[in-house]
Amino acid sequence: MSLIAIFVIVTIYAALLAYYCVLETQEKFWPATIVKLILSVCAAGLCVYAAIMLGNCIFYLFALGMVCAVPGDFFLQYIKTDLRKYRAGILFFGLMHICLIVSFYLIYAVTFYEFVIFAVLVGVLLAFQLIGKWKMGPEKAQLTVYTVLVVFMAAKAISLSLTIPDPDTFIIVLSLGGLSFFLSDLFLGIWAYYSEKFVYLALNRIIYFAGQLLLALYLVLML
């Protein structure tokens, strides 16, 4: 894919993301949900396209993970209003990260750095939970399992830029995508269980969808 095509995609994606944030500010549930799903489908679609063009089964698994994020994004819209749908969203995102983690380990070797980064990220998350006295509901156990998955995925992705000599652009993009997922979930947790200030939700949305696009570009840049 040419750099001009990538630039056009990123520009349109950024415009849609800005519009989505405006709709969230205005508390327009269905218009915001529709635009959110368009963003999610765009990222997943890019991954599916790139995986097909690359013709590698491992990348098919990566793309499947990104596809799982689409229903996850829909159900997560109900985080404050419907516990069953919220838990369904956690399940789909958990499946997403399992697919990503497995695909990473099928391509890249295990390193010491990823476990160090994992410990650091867990420490950061626990510090926010303890200081903020997060009060989770019945979803706590499921959310804990999901958190381990997303932190593990992020740690593996970030470690690649540190362990691969002279990493290619797509490796750096992948590392930034993994970090974005961790940060977006951290801000979502702050908003859901500590403070409902819109700034935390906005940061979650912006960083999350930036992370989605970065993960999609990981495959696209290999074309």
pTM: 0.95
Q: Is 172 exposed, middle or buried (0-12, 13-18, 19+ CB in 10 A)?
A: middle
In a structure prediction context, what are the per-residue pLDDT tens digits for the chain, which is 223 residues long? 788 999 999 999 999 999 999 999 999 999 999 999 999 999 999 999 999 999 999 999 999 999 999 999 999 999 999 999 999 999 999 999 999 999 999 999 999 999 999 999 999 999 999 999 998 989 999 999 999 999 999 999 999 999 999 999 999 999 999 999 999 999 999 999 999 999 999 999 999 999 999 999 999 999 9
HSE-CB for 7 with a 13 A CA cutoff: 3
Could you read off the pLDDT of 19-47 as tens digits, one per residue? 999 999 999 999 999 999 999 999 999 99
What are the structural domain ranges in the chain? 3-220
Residue that has been written with the tokens 């930036």 in this structure: 210
What is the distance, to the nearest Å, from the Cα of residue 103 to the centroid of all Cα atoms in its chain? 15
- Rounded distance, CA 135 to CA 123, Å? 18
Could you read off the pLDDT of 176-192 as tens digits, one per residue? 999 999 999 999 999 99
